[in-house]
Structure 1
Amino acid sequence: MRVHGVLESPRWALRAFALLFASLLCLVPWADTAAAHGSIVNPGARAYSCHERWGGDHMNPAMQQEDPMCWQAWQDNPNAMWNWNGLYRNGVGGNFRSAIPDGQLCSGGNAESGRYRSMDAVGPWKTTKIGNNFTMSLYDQASHGADFFQVYVTKQGFNPATQQLTWGSLELVKTTGRYAPAQNISFDVSAPGRTGNHVVFTIWQASHMDQSYYLCSDVTF
């Protein structure tokens, strides 16, 4: 029996090491898409903002009380936050309303895959304070450029803490022209007649291929 025990112990050690390695692997941020794409960083889109506030401390239980919407997002799929600049669709061909159903705008219609579905959650997302005339800023690590940006803002009376975001709840307030490839792109937007909490929904049509990004920024006018 002692011989059996000696022979078996290395096997158990290897199994334990494999389980430990697999557990640690789940905590490693995946950088495949995060290394190649972009997002609205001011006013920050949801995944970007959650990563900015908690990326260095995402296991902190205080997040549940201090930032409950980011907490549910980190719990649901931390890779969505590590890949905060990978929320896109390929081959939509400009048919955004057909490709992105109501209730899935903030996940870019990716809710079924599960990766970004937490971005569609209704609740008290932390907001950025802005004026009715404000500047949108994109960080594009890969310098894709843009065919255009479309910026929508929720209509006055919409409550993002209790209502699902739909196309009907939005008003198109800005369509830009083309932008040459650059890591940082900014443009001005005007959304008059709004007060309180709103959602700014931005579609970024990248120039390098038919690749469109769908980005929800929570704001207070």
Structure 2
Amino acid sequence: MLALVLTMMVGMLPWSGVAQAHGTIVNPASRAYQCWQAWGSSHTNPAMQQQDPMCYQAFQANPDTMWNWMSQLRDGLGGNYQGSTPDGSLCSNGLSRNNSLNQPGEWRRTNVGRSFTVQLYDQASHGADFFRAYVTKQGFNPATQRVGWGNLDLITTTGRYAPAQNISFNVSTSGRTGPHVLFVIWQASHLDQAYMWCSDINIS
């Protein structure tokens, strides 16, 4: 059902690069996907400024960030994720066009337990060499701090996944409560393409 709904939504996207589309973390929703999901059909609604100020600033900075929520990738990093992605630019995957995603503030959060399932939707079914999932350290404040490598703890490294549109894996955030950022790296299998995203969560 999730795949059907997402495929229908992709068909409604107002951009021409569907053939180049890839994927994102849909649960807990990555920042760009969450903004597109909430406001994509009403992105000119003035209520967004008050109701969802972080998505508002993202749409003001570059609406293409949300329209192309599937395309937050970089080629040829050769596994050098940290060396190629400066502190404060992790949520945009080091892409200046998506810098609005790095801004600290009151991003809408997904409520999760201390253990939960992370779900990727990949329209192009590339598969994965692996995923790495990190979560911010207890005491990190996503309302005032940009995410840097020193703010993160690695909590899961997966194995390979065969090509599929829907991939999921489990993570545990033991010892953490309250607002946090989940940071995920997806190393796609078809080419040396690395995707990185931030998802805002509230751990109970």
For residues 95-154 of structure 1, the C-alpha deviation after alignment (integer angstroms, 9 at most, x for no partner) is 00011000000010112xxx2111101111010000010000000000000000000000
Q: Is the contact between residue 34 and residue 85 of structure 1 (CA under 8 Å) also seen in structure 2?
A: no
Measure how far apart 1:34 and its partner are.
Answer: 7.7
For residues 168-194 of structure 1, the C-alpha deviation after alignment (integer angstroms, 9 at most, x for no partner) is 000000000000000000111011011
C-alpha distance in structure 2 between counterparts of 1:98 and 1:170, whole Å: 15
Q: Is the contact between residue 31 and residue 82 of structure 1 (CA under 8 Å) also seen in structure 2?
A: no
Q: Give the structure 1 partner of residue 138 of structure 2.
A: 156
- Segments of 5+ residues of structure 1 without an aligned counterpart are 1-27
Q: Give the structure 2 partner of residue 116 of structure 1.
A: 98
Q: Is the contact between residue 34 and residue 86 of structure 1 (CA under 8 Å) also seen in structure 2?
A: no
- Structure number with larger C-alpha Rg: 1
The residue type paired with residue 56 of structure 2 is W
C-alpha distance in structure 2 between counterparts of 1:37 and 1:70, whole Å: 22
Matched, 1:82 2:67: yes
Measure how far apart 1:29 and its partner are.
Answer: 3.0
Matched, 1:30 2:25: no
Q: How does 1:1-221 map to 2 (within 5 A)?
A: 29-32=14-17, 36-111=21-96, 115-221=97-203
The residue type paired with residue 115 of structure 2 is N
Which structure is higher in helix share? 1
TM normalised by structure 1 equals 0.84
Measure how far apart 1:164 and its partner are.
Answer: 1.6
C-alpha distance in structure 2 between counterparts of 1:93 and 1:155, whole Å: 27
C-alpha distance in structure 1 between counterparts of 2:30 and 2:19, whole Å: 14
TM normalised by structure 2 equals 0.91
C-alpha distance in structure 2 between counterparts of 1:161 and 1:116, whole Å: 18
Give the percent of matched residue pairs that are identical in Structure 1 and Structure 2: 62
Question: Over the residues paired in the alignment, what is the CA RMSD in angstroms?
Answer: 1.2
Moved over 2 A (4+): 28-31
2:65 match: secondary structure: helix
C-alpha distance in structure 1 between counterparts of 2:158 and 2:141, whole Å: 27
For residues 169-221 of structure 1, the C-alpha deviation after alignment (integer angstroms, 9 at most, x for no partner) is 00000000000000000111011011110000000000000000011000000
The residue type paired with residue 71 of structure 1 is Y
The residue type paired with residue 105 of structure 1 is L
